[in-house]
Amino acid sequence: MTNHLGDMQNSKAIIIFGANPASNHPIAMQHILKSKEQNGAKIIVVDPRYTKTAAKSDLYCRIRTGTDIAFLYGMIRLIRDNKWYDKSFIDSRVYGMDEIFKECEEYTPEHVEDVTGCPKEILIQATTAFATADPGCLIWNQGWTQHTVGSSNTRLGSILQLVLGNMGKPGGGTNILRGHDNVQGSTDMGCLSDTLPGYYGLAEGSWKYFASQWKVDYDWLKGRFKSQKMMESKGFSLSLWIHGVLDEANAKNNADTPIKALVCIGNGISTITQTDKVKAALDKLDLVVFIDPYVNDAAVITTRENNLYMLPAASQVECSGTVVNTGRTAQWRSKVIEPLYEARPDEEILFDFAKRMGFYDEYTAGMGKGREFTWPEDATDEIARILKTVGFQGRTAARVKKHTLNWHLFDTTSLKGRGPVSKEYYGLPWPCWTQEHPGSPVLYNVNLPVSQGGMGFRTRFGTERNGVSLLAAQGVAPVGSRIKGGYDEITSKNIEELSGIKLTDEEKKLVEGKNWKTDDSGILVRNALAAGLAPYGNARARTIVWGFRDEIPKHREPLHSFRHDLIKRYPAVADIENHYRTNVRYASEQTAKNWVAEHPINIVSGRVVEHMGTGTETRASKYLSELSGEMYGELHPELAAKLGLKDGEMMWVYGTGEGKIKIKCRYSYRVDKSSVFLPQNFSGVWSGESLESRYPAGTAPHSFGENSNQVTSYGYDQQTSCPETKCSLVRIERA
């Protein structure tokens, strides 16, 4: 998220793709409505379903699921032809825009209407309203990411903002609404299988850096893995782990062994596609452990009889520490009560595991400093010390606590503080380069000094490509920068030349062979800031990602496309071997059959305002269950009539795999005549049969329902492996 929630109030237009903040992010929705009411912002919603957010919009664009890229290219073509783009911004701060302008050529308004289903007049109105507003804000959520081309959706959305020069502006940017209060924080901490904390890679140099920071021997750390190759390889992802259990062919990608055990901590693993495969994998594993405040739905789905453990974890109010919200700001959560009954805080459970497995001393060495550590303060300070890539150095426990205790002294639109927190931004949004730095509420803003949160784009991919400079043009740099154009990231080799500051012999020894990401002395960052330089350099944003399967974003039809006639023109990528240790089908799945012939109805899925995730926590509330207590499917009355269904009758929904669910038909004009909307927030019923009896005594929720992902189709993002829950086909019959 380049900006933050309050900054939306500075926008003149807000376009929302793949998100429904009125239902899923009500706090964000308040800022959106304030922008509309106080700033006159136009609200544009692009969504397959007429949502509660769309009801508040000035313009609603209904598109077919999985066609966002075609819609975006249609916008870019109109912007190009009408010369609404920011030429100066593109020329000085962007690499590769010519390729994007070439790719958009075929996406005429007429062609976009054919592919997406959105009338060309609506596309033109939406583009005109957004492109002629200054600044304009782009919002997205899981409706964009959970596709086989989800990574391309997010890339092209960012490129749209580059075209218009909306990056680095208050009221502009790309804003991703996370589903929970610490999703951004967990990502920062490396809770993904392809990075270490702070987005450091898995190469040997990164592991050696962390070994030194964690105060453990690198060879000891390497010895925890079967081989160095496995140590430096991506692991299974959240969506693909099931295939590491069920498909023997994937064993060769995992050191010649299938996954044998699963420890699941606070994750609704039944929210990925093909819940029937999740059940099969859970049934087959040697050991399954769930750590949760509530009974994880997956623990009820499995029918295994042995080696299934549920460890009660403390809830938010029973522990303390930092959480990082969607806008990159940190907040201190204080303990309200001691954990009840047998519940224990996560760290206490993990420390206990480490003791029993014999590596507790190594596990905690980075916090100790030769003494007993204080949790969570020392852990927070350890994070601040180590994670230099995203500028955590200034986010110490003491500073975060001070902000949280003085939250009322910060402006909700700018995040600026006053009084004891003046000259700082609330929550110290990263990058926060030093303990004197205020944080950076708007990324890539060159209209501020680096010392006040300004920066250019990061120099991450070299300084030139095919003879073309990847550095920002002369004249583009944060206010007060010694270098008035682009420059490389700061290292021991270039610090003196770039900053104009001579290092002492002692300082040279301390930083020798280091760069801004690995220098523990702080000399490189400190001298860079003194010269008005961003430690990570000043480059151009790139539209071309070499090494990606699609170097520029391309529209590709979903694997289970509602428009089989378009597959030949917009095919899926070739099947991928060893994609997060899994052999994943793409083209072969897409062309295996004419899927829509047997499953003619398109799924639109999403959350409801009363529940979150699988509803594990919220359905345990009798009040929320009273408001939304049953699973259903929304059908347009005309489609329901064709199927012989009346409002309130039960129906069977069959997926393209083996899953089926029995749910209530609900008439709705919010969906089109070829789709069904399925909420994602239910569980506890399996293909028409209640699972209530499987809950331990006293733990069953107040409401149950079929899990919609029992009928979602096979499919994963071609770069990230995120599950494609947003493009599936089903068949519906009267129950």
Report if residue 535 sits inside a domain. no
* Mean pLDDT, residues 362-377: 85
* C-alpha distances in Å from residue 369, one per residue of 184, 215, 379, 400, 519: 28, 9, 11, 21, 19
Per DSSP, the three-state class of 90 is helix
* Mean pLDDT, residues 302-307: 94
pLDDT at 370: 57
Strand partners, 633: 665
Task: Please tell me the pTM assigned to this model.
Answer: 0.96
Phi, psi of 660 (to 5 degrees): -150, 150
CATH of the domain at 23: 3.40.228.10
Report if residue 247 sits inside a domain. no
Within a 10 A sphere around the Cβ of 371, how many other Cβ atoms?
8
* Residues 294, 5: Cα–Cα separation, whole Å: 30
- pLDDT > 90? residue 183: no
Report if residue 337 sits inside a domain. no
Burial class (CB in 10 A: 0-12, 13-18, 19+), 469: middle
**pLDDT by residue (tens digit) across 539-574?**
999 999 999 999 999 999 999 999 999 999 999 999
Task: Round the average pLDDT of the chain to a whole number and report it.
Answer: 95
Contact 404, 323 (CB under 8 A): no
* Mean pLDDT, residues 610-616: 86
Give the residue from 176, 193, 212 where a domain finishes: 176
**pLDDT by residue (tens digit) across 65-98?**
999 999 999 999 999 999 999 999 999 999 999 9
Q: How many domains is the chain built from?
A: 2
Going by pLDDT thresholds of 50, 70 and 90, the confidence category of residue 727 is: very high
pLDDT at 372: 84
Angle at 382 between CA 381 and CA 388, to 5 degrees: 100
Report if residue 137 sits inside a domain. yes
Q: At what angle do helices 120-131 and 109-116 cross, to 10 degrees?
A: 110
Contact 472, 459 (CB under 8 A): no
Per DSSP, the three-state class of 678 is strand
CA-wise closest residue to 101 among 124, 82, 128: 82
**pLDDT by residue (tens digit) across 654-699?**
999 999 999 999 999 999 999 999 999 999 999 999 999 999 999 9
Dihedral in degrees, nearest 10, Cα atoms 4, 10, 13, 14: 20
pLDDT at 178: 82
pLDDT at 613: 80
pLDDT at 41: 96
Structure tokens at 294: 């509530």
Strand partners, 109: none
511-520 contacts: CB < 8 A, separation 24 or more?
A: 515/489, 515/490, 515/491, 516/388, 516/489, 516/490, 516/491, 517/200, 517/209, 517/388, 517/389, 518/209, 518/388, 519/388, 519/492, 520/385
Buried b (16+ CB within 10 A) or exposed e, 640-669: beebebeeeeebbbbbbbebbbbbbbbbbe
Going by pLDDT thresholds of 50, 70 and 90, the confidence category of residue 181 is: confident
Q: Which helix (H) or strand (E) holds 297?
A: helix 297-301
- pLDDT > 80? residue 509: yes
Strand partners, 38: none
- pLDDT > 80? residue 577: yes
Report if residue 182 sits inside a domain. no
pLDDT at 445: 98
Report if residue 308 sits inside a domain. no
Within a 10 A sphere around the Cβ of 598, how many other Cβ atoms?
11
Structure tokens at 575: 């099947």
* Residues 499, 476: Cα–Cα separation, whole Å: 17
Q: What percent of the chain has pLDDT over 90?
A: 93
Task: Please tell me the number of Cα atoms within 13 Å of 539 on its side-chain side.
Answer: 23
* The residue type at 633: G
* Mean pLDDT, residues 275-291: 96
* Mean pLDDT, residues 356-381: 89
* Mean pLDDT, residues 137-146: 92
* Mean pLDDT, residues 328-349: 95
Report if residue 229 sits inside a domain. no
Domain region containing 138 = 6-176
- pLDDT > 70? residue 371: no
pLDDT at 700: 95
Residue listed under structure tokens 């902000």: 403
* Mean pLDDT, residues 193-197: 95
* Residues 133, 605: Cα–Cα separation, whole Å: 31
CATH of the domain at 633: 2.40.40.20
Give the residue from 129, 148, 176 where a domain finishes: 176
407-414 contacts: CB < 8 A, separation 24 or more?
A: 411/6, 412/6, 413/6, 413/7, 413/9, 413/10, 414/6, 414/7, 414/170, 414/441
Give the residue from 176, 195, 227 where a domain finishes: 176
pLDDT at 186: 87
pLDDT at 115: 98
* Mean pLDDT, residues 382-403: 96
pLDDT at 612: 84
Report if residue 253 sits inside a domain. no
Strand bridging mode 308-312 / 287-292: parallel
